[in-house]
Each structure stands twice: as structure tokens, then as C-alpha cells.
Structure 1
Amino acid sequence: MQRLKNSIDFKRVYNNQKSFANRHLVLYILKTDNESRIGFSVSKKVGNAVTRNKIKRRLREISRLNAYQIKEGYDIICIVRVKAKDIDYQTLNNSFLHLIKKLGLLKVNENG
């Protein structure tokens, strides 16, 4: 899965205004004709630079490991809420996958 990096792409996804949230994360999505891309936003309210970068590294790894399960053709922005700063990796992973399922972006298993 590619990364969303420039502000024009972020604004385009935000302007679409299709989002879902849970206690730890907010996901914005936009349907595209290209390969799926994901971007991360962590506010200074979440913590210092070390904390914010740790959360971003975890989310990048979570999205990399679960990329095969996510449908193609979407731009996704993942915004981290303040409550996410004290959670462990597994809880963050569950929050991310919960929102992916809620948005209907999870690929259906062909075997059952």
C-alpha cells in the first residue's frame, strides 16, 4: 500500500467527508481509480515527537501487514486521537481493523 504524503491529496480526502471513528482513530476515505494509499495524521495533543512517531511507526506497520485485506482503489487518512497514546500495539491494530471493517474496505474471503 502506497503512502499519501502531500497536502493536496489530504485535502481532497478530507473534503469528501466520508469518515468513521472509534475511541482511538478516525478514518477518512475517498474512492479512487488508482492503487490504495494511506496517510497518517497525529496531532501534537497526542504527545511529544517521540510518542507521535512511535504511533505512526506502529500504524505504518499495521497497514503494511494488513494491506492484503484492504480493498484497492481508496485513499485513506488515519487520524490518531489523544486516547491512543497509551494503548499497546494489539489494541491499535484492533482499532484500525475495526474501522476498516466498518467502512466496508475489508476484502471478502473467497473460501468462506
Structure 2
Amino acid sequence: MKKSYRVKKEADFQQVFEKHDSVANRQFVIYQMEKPGQKHFRLGVSVGKKIGNAVHRVWVKRRIRQAITELKPYLKQDVDILVIARPVADGMSMKEVKTSLVHVLHLAHLLDSDYSEEQ
């Protein structure tokens, strides 16, 4: 994912947390903040130490980023999105991660209604 699609700075993370609209399922928590005039969405991923060691955390982050990359054309564009992984996310397959993210993104109204699960 290109740098322009990432939320990296601590101040940006805190701004989304403070002005947040959050939705969650068992595996992930999504925080979102509207950014009118922004060309495309920005994504921040947070995986805590409860997930496991660095290898496990990177593994989970990669799967989240890959799932979001596959969903990119269907995502709302003028928003900053933070995805926080819960400990249950460790050990999930790529398909399970994507299915869970699709579920929570639908709950957050960030995914287009024309997206179908079979894609």
C-alpha cells in the first residue's frame, strides 16, 4: 500500500481516536473519521502485544493490509480508517480475515453496497 494511503503519525491516530465513530466485531475494531476533500482513504493498523510476539503481529498486519487492498475499489474514499486487531485475529487465515473485515466495514458503512461476498 502506498504511503499516501497510510495513517502513520501519532497525532493523526490521536485525532481519529478523539473524533471517532467506532464499530467492532470479535476480531477487529474500526475507527473512522470523515475527511471531506480528501482524494482517497487513509488506513492505520494497530496490533497490540496481546496478539503475540513481533512475528505474529506483523503476520496479522500483512493480512489486514492485503484484505484492505483487495477491497480498495469498494471503500469510501473521503475517510481515515483505523483498524485495531483483537487477540482473536492471531492465527486466522487470509479468507477469515477478509470475511471479518468485510463484516465490520459493512457495519461501519464504509463498504459500497454493491460489494458481494463472492468476489
After TM superposition, the score normalised by the length of structure 2 is: 0.87
Give the unaligned 5+ runs of structure 2: 115-119
Which one of the candidate residues 75, 84, 90 is aligned to 1:85?
90
Residue 10 (structure 1) aligns with: 13
Residue 25 (structure 1) aligns with: 28
Instruction: Provide the C-alpha distance between the structure 2 equivalents of 1:99 and 1:50, rounded to a whole number of angstroms.
Output: 25
Question: Residue type matched to 2:111 in 1?
Answer: L
Which one of the candidate residues 53, 62, 67 is aligned to 2:72?
67
What is the CA-CA distance between 1:86 and the residue it aligns to?
2.1
Residue 76 (structure 1) aligns with: 81
Asked if residue 106 in structure 1 is aligned to residue 106 in structure 2, the reply is: no
Q: Deviations over 1:82-108 (max 9, x none)?
A: 111121111111111111111111123
Aligned length: 109
Question: Residue type matched to 2:48 in 1?
Answer: S
RMSD: 1.1
